[in-house]
Structure 1
Amino acid sequence: MSLPVVHHPAFDAQFDAAHRFPMSKFTRLAQILVEDGVVAPGGWHVPEPCPADWLALAHDPAYVHAVLAQSVPREMEKAIGFAVDDKVAMRSRCATGGTVLAARLALAGGLACNTAGGSHHAARGGGAGFSVFNDVAVAARVLLAENAVGRVLVFDCDVHQGDGTARIFEGERNVFTLSIHGEKNYPMTKARSDLDVALPDGTGDAAYLDILPDLLDEAWRQASPGIVFYNAGVDPHRDDRLGRLCLSDEGLAERDRRVIGFFRERGLPVACVIGGGYSRDIEALSRRHTILHRVATEFIGRSGSSSRP
């Protein structure tokens, strides 16, 4: 049995190499997973582009229409960080469909990973911070609308606060949002997640890993989830261009191991998205993102206990 991994060629909208968003990492990430035997050649689970009615479960229908018609206002494109052309619109639909598919695969088999996703700055009214659609929010809403689960936990370890996700689900009892992020990093105006942990610049492996046990236990107890969406952003890495924390490759791997392991040991399905990561060195960055998929393979074939004591 192999790890279900979701990928679509459209995840790479083929930006110029000089663009500040490292778009080509999605193609290279997929290549590395095949080259290193994590995914067999042709072994991808390929998503369909997310339909507009699913997107409208988490976003204003007028904004959804603007993205699909490539008519997003210039000011919002500025907030997003790039123009929303046909390739970006398709990329955003496929990445969101990919997280929905990863969630369905996780419900069926316990664990699945997307090679994109984690666009957590997009809120109901529009995008921001390199996020067009909030794929995790859409996927959570799809599962809840279908009664596939009754409650959802979003466990977000990207270095930037999951402000869009927090705002979309503010006041909703069936979705619990947790964000572990850099205190002084983007966004400057923070939202209110159900549980926020703001870390000082320079936080390293030991301090980061020390906070996880209590946070995992508290999130599990408060959320009582039927599924966990895990945002495994690699931007807390010490070499990340935007991160400002100091985790190592080993620290990221142990973070992923502890988060995935905690929930799988309790029989909870986990759908993983890659979140943020920023570097001019696409090879190093892409390999950093594969840490998630490599660690996740450690849990394939393990049977968890019941989801509640």
Structure 2
Amino acid sequence: MVKIAWHPSYAHPLPEGHRFPMVKYELIPEQLLHEGIITESNLFAPEPLAEDVVLLSHQKGYWDQLKDLTLPAKEQRRIGFPLNSQLVEREVRIARGTIDGALYAMQYGIAFNVAGGTHHAGSNWGEGFCLLNDQAIAANYLLNNGLARRILIIDLDVHQGNGTAEIFYNEDRVFTFSMHGDKNFPFRKEVSDLDIALEDGISDEVFLEKLSKALPMLLAHNPDFVFYLSGVDVLESDKLGKLALSKAGCKERDRMVLQFCKDNQLPVQVSMGGGYSPNIKDIVDAHCNTFKIGLDIFE
């Protein structure tokens, strides 16, 4: 059975005056349940993550400042909102959900996290609404516990996975692949194992052609597990994305990645990443398509 991490804290509202489309974290599971794509048995609620697991990926000084709520104001501004205990709890539950999802993926081929994809968090910083890097934490958990030998991270959010690249810069067992907008945040990029920078306004056809050429190259790393970040901020409707993919193009992107994993017998954990279209329905529809494609391929 395909498992999906979700917890009420995912939709925790930000402090007054800070706007962010948190509502999607409630609407995605509701939509999947309403359409009969999943049942309640597919959903699981992750517990908070243990500190020793956080410290496999993040420096202790940074983590202490998060949990003690002593992160300097300048660093909080870099994240994008004021720090509070509920936001820290939200992040540790998201990270635990991605770890649990990875373990479920080893059983069932694929698993999802309704949230996650917090790829801007580096070893000692938070940035771009990301406090802790869920897929980096989960990858290090698998490696540290001997559950995977070589890991591939496929990041197709419109923004470069700079935190992920930094965390694994000197880790040969993890191959980081980021395909992202060249002239988009973060404006200071890190170096992934493979970066494909995209021009503004790129179409479905060009995006998918570049992806189809890149995917076979990734097998040279000989991965035995995949983390996929499936941000839908690549949509033409996205107010922050600057690319021009249609919903159909975004859906085909997911099909290509997940079929690649299935064909090569690679278990895959999927985190949702970003989505900032003005119409929340566009965001939810595109994210739900990711679940539908995954279920079609793996069930």
Q: TM-score w.r.t. structure 2 length?
A: 0.96
State the 1:205 CA deviation.
Answer: 0.5
Residue 233 of structure 2 is matched in structure 1 by 235
The one-letter code of the counterpart of 1:111 is: I
Task: Verify: 1:276 aligned to 2:237, yes or no.
Answer: no
8 Å CA contact 2:233, 2:277 repeated in 1: no
Q: Structure 2 CA distance, aligned partners of 1:253 and 1:30?
A: 18
CA offset digits 1:98-149 (Å, max 9, x no partner): 1111111111211111101100000001100111000010000000000000
1:291 counterpart SS class: helix
Residue 54 of structure 1 is matched in structure 2 by 53
Residue 91 of structure 1 is matched in structure 2 by 90
Q: Structure 2 CA distance, aligned partners of 1:204 and 1:233?
A: 16
State the 1:263 CA deviation.
Answer: 1.4
Residue 166 of structure 1 is matched in structure 2 by 165
CA offset digits 1:9-63 (Å, max 9, x no partner): 1111213696342112111112112111122135312211111111111001121
Please give the root-mean-square deviation of Cα atoms over the aligned residues, in Å. 1.4
1:11 counterpart SS class: helix
Q: Structure 1 CA distance, aligned partners of 2:18 and 2:277?
A: 11
After the TM superposition, which residues 251-290 of structure 1 pair with which residues of structure 2 at under 5 Å, given as runs? Answer: 251-290=249-288
Tell me which moved more, 34-43 or 146-155.
34-43
State the 1:65 CA deviation.
Answer: 1.8
Note the residue ranges of structure 2 that are not aligned, 5 or more in a row: none
Q: Structure 2 CA distance, aligned partners of 1:185 and 1:97?
A: 29
Residue 128 of structure 1 is matched in structure 2 by 127
State the 1:282 CA deviation.
Answer: 2.5
The one-letter code of the counterpart of 2:121 is: A
Residue 112 of structure 2 is matched in structure 1 by 113
The one-letter code of the counterpart of 2:280 is: I
Paired residues, number: 299
CA offset digits 1:47-82 (Å, max 9, x no partner): 111111111110011211221222221111100001
Q: Structure 1 CA distance, aligned partners of 2:69 and 2:234?
A: 32
Tell me which moved more, 174-183 or 280-289.
280-289
Q: Structure 2 CA distance, aligned partners of 1:72 and 1:216?
A: 39
8 Å CA contact 1:21, 1:130 repeated in 2: no
Residue 299 of structure 1 is matched in structure 2 by 297
8 Å CA contact 2:152, 2:226 repeated in 1: yes
8 Å CA contact 1:203, 1:245 repeated in 2: yes
Task: Verify: 1:218 aligned to 2:217, yes or no.
Answer: yes
The one-letter code of the counterpart of 2:216 is: D
8 Å CA contact 2:76, 2:83 repeated in 1: yes
Note the residue ranges of structure 1 that are not aligned, 5 or more in a row: 302-309
8 Å CA contact 2:201, 2:244 repeated in 1: yes
8 Å CA contact 2:169, 2:192 repeated in 1: yes
8 Å CA contact 2:238, 2:278 repeated in 1: no
8 Å CA contact 2:237, 2:278 repeated in 1: no
8 Å CA contact 1:181, 1:197 repeated in 2: yes
After the TM superposition, which residues 150-229 of structure 1 pair with which residues of structure 2 at under 5 Å, given as runs? Answer: 150-221=149-220, 223-229=221-227
8 Å CA contact 1:49, 1:93 repeated in 2: yes
2:42 counterpart SS class: coil
Residue 38 of structure 1 is matched in structure 2 by 37
Q: Structure 2 CA distance, aligned partners of 1:135 and 1:23?
A: 17
The one-letter code of the counterpart of 1:272 is: V
2:298 counterpart SS class: coil
Tell me which moved more, 271-280 or 152-161.
271-280
Q: Structure 1 CA distance, aligned partners of 2:287 and 2:15?
A: 21
CA offset digits 1:158-196 (Å, max 9, x no partner): 000000000100021100000000010001111110000
Q: Structure 2 CA distance, aligned partners of 1:175 and 1:154?
A: 7
Task: Verify: 1:145 aligned to 2:144, yes or no.
Answer: yes
State the 1:87 CA deviation.
Answer: 1.4
The one-letter code of the counterpart of 2:150 is: R
Tell me which moved more, 87-96 or 33-42.
33-42
Residue 306 of structure 1 is matched in structure 2 by none
